[in-house]
Structures are given as structure tokens and as C-alpha cells.
């Protein structure tokens, strides 16, 4: 009863205009001729904080400034309010009293005195709460984390002139245009708020900039910043593969919607693995040895290509209801099965076509992700559309049983299978004369522009696909996206000339993941995945481990009397196939020890694709280089 009453009060307050919905109708005070100024003092970034000082144009009377909430590329209300500290507001050198809105925590109110045309807003930016964004040698600057702006404006018309004061001796990389430099202070040209926020900056003591591609006045750069100088000694063979990114992307899309693109890459074991797309750059973060250890290229060689592909699919072409006019208006994420799902396929595809991974290895990669989706219990009840619609919350989801709840990562992986299915349908129906590449050329017109955005709907996607090849695409997506599909798409394997098998031979992608991420992958055998130190990360519903009442969070102490190591478990797994004796685990949980017997006798089980004799090898054609013949 109380909840119903509360909802009624909220509805009444909204109807009375007491809690106005965010909009973009306000008169803009920060114009190109009179922009908001932002000075970011990053000299203390190595200590985990920076100081941001803004001069915000205002008019006398009540004024509301806001901290960005709904962040493009993060697809949710992820503006880190906890990063704000020591907030001070003043005008003409005199302090002003500010107050946070009681309902909208991202909004701050102040009364502007008569005669005042700008207010000074200053705060300390905490860089490592909750995400780690800095180390003593590397810093990542997302401008949305370090600024406030006028409420209810259209960010295309709101201008900011930003500057940064770097730590002494540090370099930086960004897609922003440098207007001038005075020692460690870099002044950027005034830009619309949307372009500033869309242009992150990396900085660091140890850095290397590599020109990957250029044509006329257009360039693509790889800007690397590392915690240690040796992590920048990238083998020429790896760099040569990355130099194929733009040629392969141009062949794939047939267009370009950027002038100068910067792949910003922070190499650090303290800054978490991440990739966030922007129109003329990407904010990529990876382990320290990412560019020097070939196994990382096998496991995550799509990091840069995925975000690069987003310049076309996500930044240029964008779902209509994901496109807003400022950072306070909620985004609707239902079409992420195109934005992210298709891009997962395209980012992987570009990594293989560019040679970052070997095209011949794609069947093994596909076997791994196919088996992952085919054995996820959450797919029995949750359709893909529910995952994309709930993405703003699923991105932040943590805790036990992720395979039952499902996570945001699922619409990436399942999306790859979906769009491979689309690709193989087009190729089969046109006898390989057309492909998803054909669709992307239509999708990405006009051919060459600077950063612009063109929106789409589901109907637009289906219409363009029908231009490529007539097919009931609406029913296809209805079946695989909008309804529960207990199995992943199956036609693409057969049409591609392959079938899925399980053998005792390790899958190289799973093997590399186990090594790099300190995991033991037993999802297809006992039915669990083990993390560092023997801790169970998840238990598959219906598996032998599930039947034996194993749960996530348990720590495996011993296996058949021997102290647990991945090697011991794999030895016992093989022996159980011959003895048909249950495997005895001693596990600890919350200070208690338990003995659990798990009955699994099938031996090691890894997914692989094998060729169907006498059929075309479409996977080889899809993943082969298209720009280099």
C-alpha cells in the first residue's frame, strides 16, 4: 500500500511540474562567442585526483547546473557522482550557496546575484572511485567526469573551451584540436559540449604515437600510454597488423565519417580492461603486456577494432531512441542488438581480416562462443530484447549466477551469432555475390564526411536488408531477438560449411583465456568455471556440479585428496572417465568446509568446428582480407 501511495505522489508531483522531466529547450548561455571555460589541473593525476575549474555563463536568478548522467558508449546513467568532492561555487570572488536537488541527484541549484554574468564552479575529481582511471604514470580523462553544464540545453549548441595542465614531462593524446600550448598547459579550441565529451584524453609519462594510416589530410593514430617503458616495445609484426585496420574498415563499410582518428590505449594492470567508442577516437584500456604478449591478441584482438568499427556503427549510424540532446535525458537501449550485437561481429571480423588474429583461427573462436550461448540456462527464459532493454542496469550487474540472470555481455556474443546468420543467409541466397558488406555500404552512405549522426529504427534495418536480398527479415529478428530462443541461431554453421563437435583436444582460445585470466574452464564438464585461487565463479544449472549442490563463491581446497591446482583437476577429470568414480571435492565457504562428490565421467570436453565435406567454406571467405589481395 505504501509503495502504491508513493508512486501516486510522484505522479502527482510530475503532473504539477514540481519534478520537471529533463529536456533540451533552455536558452543556451554558453555560445561559441561566449563559451563555458574549463581548466583541468591534472598535475596530481598520479596521486588519484585532479582539480576542475569552470566559468559557466549565467543570467541573474535561479540557475541549475548539472553533472552528466547518461553517458554515450556506456549506455546508462553511469556518470560517477562519487567522483565529485570539495565542490565550491562563487561569483565575482564571493562564495555562493549551492544545494543538490532532492530528487535529481545530478542537478545542483544556485541563486545568481544581479549583475553577475558567469559563476565559477570548482571541484576535486576523484579519479579512482569507483573505477581506476589513473596510476603514477598513466591517466585517462573522460571529460564528462570533470565538468558541469547548464541544465536543459541542447549540447550541440552549448560551447566549452577546455584546457588541461599536464604533469611535468607527460604526453597526451586526443582527437581535440590544440589551439595553443604554454608549457604544461594545453588549450583546446572551443567545441560543442557533445564533441568535447566525445573526445577523451589519455596522458602519461611513457608514451608512443604510431601513425597507422593516412590518405590526404585524414589520419589514423595509435596513441599508447604505459606504466612502464618496455610495454611500448611492440613487435613490428603486431603493429603491421594494426596498420590494416583502416583499409579493411573502408573495404567493409565503403565510407568514412571521421577526419583524424585516435585509438587511445592505456596499458596498465591497475586500470581495468575497457573499450568505449567515440566518433574520432576510442578509449581503450588493457593489461600492461597487451601489445607485447601475442596471447592477448588472440584472446582480445578485437578490442581496438570493435571500438574503431563503432565510428560507423554506433556513432555515425545510431538507434533513434538512443540519440538524445543532452546527458540528462534517459537513453533507450532496445536496439543495442544492432549497435553492439552487430558490432561485436564486425569488430571480430575486422580483427581477423586485418591479421591481428589469423583468419584460419575464426572457426575455433566461433566454436567457443557458440558453445557458450548453447549452454547458458538464462536463454531458456530471457529473450535478447529484454537484455538490450535492460542494458543500463545489466552493465552494472554483479554477483552470483550470471548465467541464470544473464549479463550485458550476452547481447554482444549472441549478437555476433545473429549477424553471422544474417551474413550467411545473404551469401547463400545470392550465391556469394552479396554479403553483409553489401548491406553496410548502404547503411553507411554518404561516403566521406566528418563526424555526423544518422539515426535508424528496426524498420530501417529490415528495409535495407531487403534491398540487399528479399527475405522475411522481420520474422527472422522477431524469432531470434524478440522471442525466447532457447538455442543460438543454428543455420549459419551449416550454411558456412561447418558443424560443431566436442572433443578432448583443448580449444586454443579457451586455453589462452585460462592462462591469461587465471581461470579453469570446466563449464562443459563438471559444470563450473574456476577463478584465481580456486574460487567458483559460476555453476551451470542442470550440470553435475549443480546436482551436487556446488555454488558460486565456494573455494576448491582439494580434489580426490590432492591440493587443488588446475593441473590436478584436469588429471582427475581424465581418470574419472576410466574409473567411473565420482570426483571428491573439499570446498570451503564462509569458514566452513564441505565434502562434495560430483558424478561426471565424460572426460575433457572442448568445442571445435569441423568441415562438412563437399560444402563451400564461407567462414574462410568472410574472414579473408578484403583490402589486401
Alpha carbons within 13 angstroms on the beta-carbon side of residue 95 total 4
Whether 9 shows a pLDDT value over 70: the answer reads no
Task: State mean pLDDT over 182-202.
Answer: 98
What is the pLDDT averaged over residues 149-165? 98
315 touches 197 (CB < 8 A): no
Counting Cα atoms < 13 Å in the Cβ hemisphere of 343 gives: 27
398 Cα distance to chain centroid: 16
Summarize pLDDT for 583-592 with one digit per residue, the tens: 999 999 999 9
**Per-residue pLDDT reduced to its tens digit, 246-302:** 999 999 999 999 999 999 999 999 999 999 999 999 999 999 999 999 999 999 999
In the numeric block, which cell numbers belong to residue 556?
A: 576448491
- Strand spans (E) along 216-327: 218-226, 260-267, 274-277, 281-286, 317-319
Averaged pLDDT score across all residues of the chain: 95
- Among candidate residues 525, 515, 502, 521, the one with its CA nearest the CA of residue 606: 502
- Backbone dihedral region of 355: left (phi > 0), alpha (psi from -120 to 50 degrees) or beta? left
Examine the pLDDT at 180 and tell me if it is beyond 80.
Answer: yes
* 20 — pLDDT class (breaks 50, 70, 90): confident
Q: Which three cell numbers stand for residue 120?
A: 565559477
Residue 104 grid cell: 535529481
pLDDT band at 130 (very low <50, low <70, confident <90, very high): confident
DSSP class of 554:
-
* CA-CA-CA-CA torsion sign (312, 317, 323, 325): positive
Domain 508-606: give its CATH architecture: Roll (2.30)
33-63 residue pLDDT tens:
999 999 999 999 999 999 999 999 999 999 9
Q: Are 603 and 504 in contact (CB under 8 A)?
A: yes
Cell 527479415 belongs to which residue? 473
- Residue 551 to residues 178, 371, 520, 573, 608, Cα–Cα distance (Å): 54, 22, 16, 19, 28
How would DSSP label each residue in 82-139? GGEEEEEEEETTEE--EEE-SS-TTEEEEEEPTT--EEEEEEEEETTSSS--B-SSEE
Distance of alpha carbon 161 from alpha carbon 176, whole angstroms = 11
The mean pLDDT of 356-374, rounded to a whole number, is 97
What's the confidence (pLDDT) of residue 304?
98
CA dist list (Å): 48 to 136, 138, 141, 206: 8, 10, 12, 18
Q: What is the CATH number of domain 36-204?
A: 2.60.40.3650
Residue 78 three-state SS: coil
| Range with lowest mean pLDDT among 117-131, 354-368, 477-491, 496-510 | 477-491
For residue 448, list its beta bridge partners: 256
Q: Where in the chain is the domain with CATH 2.30.42.10?
A: 508-606
Q: Which residue in this structure is represented by grid cell 587465471? A: 518
Number of Cβ atoms within 10 Å of the Cβ of 586: 17
Q: Cell 604510431 identifies what position? A: 210
Beta bridge partners of 275: 284
- Cα–Cα dist 195/187, whole Å: 15
Confidence of residue 18 (pLDDT cuts 50, 70, 90): low
Please list the residue range(s) of the chain that carry CATH number 1.10.390.10.
208-496
Cα 293–Cα 295–Cα 298 angle in degrees, nearest 5: 125
d(C-alpha 537, C-alpha 599), whole Å: 20
Q: Which residues pair with 621 in a beta bridge?
A: none
Residue 19: pLDDT band with limits 50, 70, 90: low
Helix ranges restricted to H, 321-457: 336-339, 341-354, 362-374, 384-389, 391-394, 402-405, 409-429, 436-443
What average pLDDT does the segment 371-377 reach? 94
**Alpha carbon of 123 to those of 109, 126, 141: distances in Å?**
15, 10, 15
Query: How confident is the model over 71-107, as pLDDT tens digits?
Result: 999 999 999 999 999 999 999 999 999 999 999 999 9
The rounded distance, in Å, linking the Cα atoms of 507 and 603 is: 15
Q: How confident is the model at residue 628 (pLDDT cuts 50, 70, 90)?
A: low
Q: What is the pLDDT of residues 196-247, one digit of tens each?
A: 999 999 999 999 999 999 999 999 999 999 999 999 999 999 999 999 999 9
Instruction: CATH 2.60.40.3650 in the chain: give the residue spans.
Output: 36-204
pLDDT tops 50 at residue 11? no
State how far the alpha carbon of 491 is from the alpha carbons of 262, 379, 420, 498, in Å.
38, 18, 10, 10
Q: Give the rounded percent of residues in the chain with a pLDDT score beyond 70.
A: 97
Determine the pLDDT at residue 12: 38
The architecture of the domain spanning 208-496 is Orthogonal Bundle (1.10)
Residue with the bigger pLDDT between 419 and 3: it is 419
Segment 332-360 shows an average pLDDT of 98
Amino acid at each position: 500500500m505504501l509503495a502504491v501511495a508513493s508512486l501516486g505522489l510522484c505522479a502527482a508531483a510530475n503532473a504539477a511540474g514540481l519534478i520537471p522531466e529533463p529536456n533540451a529547450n533552455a536558452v543556451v548561455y554558453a555560445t561559441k562567442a561566449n563559451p563555458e571555460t574549463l581548466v583541468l589541473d591534472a598535475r596530481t593525476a598520479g596521486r588519484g585526483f585532479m582539480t576542475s575549474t569552470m566559468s559557466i555563463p549565467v543570467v541573474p536568478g535561479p540557475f541549475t547546473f548539472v553533472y552528466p548522467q547518461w553517458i554515450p558508449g556506456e549506455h546508462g546513467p553511469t556518470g560517477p557522482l562519487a567522483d565529485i568532492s570539495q565542490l565550491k561555487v562563487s561569483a565575482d570572488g564571493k562564495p555562493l550557496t549551492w544545494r543538490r536537488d532532492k530528487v535529481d541527484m545530478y542537478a545542483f541549484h544556485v541563486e545568481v546575484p544581479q549583475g553577475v554574468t558567469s559563476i565559477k564552479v570548482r571541484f576535486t575529481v576523484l579519479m579512482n572511485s569507483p573505477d581506476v582511471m589513473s596510476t603514477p604514470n598513466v591517466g585517462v580523462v573522460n571529460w564528462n567526469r570533470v565538468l558541469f553544464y547548464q541544465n536543459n540545453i541542447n549540447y550541440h549548441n552549448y560551447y566549452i573551451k577546455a584546457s588541461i595542465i599536464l604533469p611535468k614531462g607527460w604526453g597526451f593524446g586526443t582527437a581535440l584540436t590544440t589551439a595553443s600550448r604554454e608549457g604544461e598547459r594545453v588549450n583546446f579550441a572551443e567545441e560543442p559540449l557533445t564533441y568535447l565529451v566525445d573526445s577523451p584524453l589519455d596522458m602519461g609519462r611513457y608514451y608512443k604515437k604510431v601513425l597507422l594510416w593516412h590518405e590526404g589530410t585524414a589520419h589514423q593514430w595509435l596513441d599508447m600510454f604505459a606504466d612502464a617503458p618496455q610495454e611500448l616495445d611492440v613487435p613490428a609484426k603486431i603493429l603491421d597488423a594494426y596498420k590494416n585496420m583502416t583499409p579493411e574498415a573502408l573495404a567493409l563499410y565503403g565510407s568514412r565519417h571521421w577526419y583524424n582518428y585516435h585509438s587511445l590505449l592505456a596499458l596498465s594492470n591497475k586500470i581495468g580492461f575497457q573499450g568505449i567508442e567515440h566518433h574520432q577516437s576510442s578509449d581503450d584500456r588493457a593489461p600492461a603486456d597487451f601489445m607485447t604478449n601475442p596471447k592477448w591478441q588472440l584472446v582480445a584482438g578485437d578490442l581496438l577494432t570493435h571500438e574503431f568499427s563503432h565510428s560507423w556503427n554506433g556513432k555515425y549510424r545510431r538507434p533513434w531512441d538512443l540519440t538524445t540532446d543532452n546527458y540528462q535525458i534517459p537513453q533507450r537501449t532496445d536496439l543495442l542488438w544492432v549497435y553492439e550485437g552487430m558490432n561485436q561481429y564486425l569488430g571480430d571480423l575486422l580483427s581477423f581480416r586485418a591479421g591481428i588474429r589469423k583468419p584460419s583461427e575464426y572457426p575455433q573462436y566461433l566454436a567457443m562462443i557458440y558453445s557458450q550461448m548453447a549452454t547458458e540456462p538464462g536463454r531458456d527464459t530471457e529473450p535478447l530484447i529484454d537484455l538490450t532493454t535492460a542494458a543500463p542496469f545489466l552493465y552494472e550487474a554483479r554477483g552470483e549466477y550470471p548465467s541464470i540472470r544473464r549479463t550485458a555481455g550476452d547481447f554482444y556474443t549472441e549478437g555476433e551469432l545473429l549477424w553471422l546468420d544474417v551474413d550467411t543467409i545473404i551469401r547463400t541466397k545470392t550465391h556469394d555475390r552479396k554479403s553483409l558488406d553489401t548491406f553496410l555500404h548502404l547503411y553507411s552512405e554518404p561516403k566521406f564526411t566528418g563526424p555526423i549522426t544518422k539515426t535508424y529504427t528496426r524498420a530501417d534495418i529490415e528495409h535495407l536488408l531487403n534491398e540487399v536480398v528479399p527475405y522475411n527479415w522481420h520474422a527472422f529478428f522477431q524469432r531470434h531477438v524478440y522471442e525466447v530462443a532457447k538455442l543460438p541461431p543454428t543455420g549459419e554453421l551449416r550454411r558456412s560449411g561447418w558443424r560443431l563437435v566436442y572433443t578432448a583436444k583443448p580449444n586454443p582460445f579457451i586455453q589462452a583465456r585460462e592462462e591469461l585470466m587465471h581461470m579453469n574452464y570446466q563449464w562443459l564438464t563438471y559444470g563450473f568455471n574456476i577463478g584465481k585461487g580456486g574460487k567458483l565463479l559460476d555453476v551451470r544449472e542442470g550440470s553435475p556440479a549443480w546436482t551436487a549442490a556446488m555454488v558460486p563463491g565456494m573455494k576448491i581446497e582439494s580434489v580426490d585428496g590432492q591440493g587443488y591446482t588446475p593441473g590436478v583437476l584436469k588429471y582427475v577429470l581424465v581418470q574419472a572417465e576410466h574409473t567411473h568414480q565420482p570426483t571428491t571435492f573439499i570446498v570451503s565457504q564462509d569458514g566452513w568446509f564441505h565434502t562434495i562428490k560430483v558424478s561426471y565421467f565424460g572426460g575433457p570436453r572442448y568445442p571445435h568446428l569441423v568441415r562438412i565435406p563437399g560444402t563451400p567454406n564461407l567462414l574462410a571467405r568472410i574472414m579473408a582480407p578484403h583490402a589486401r589481395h
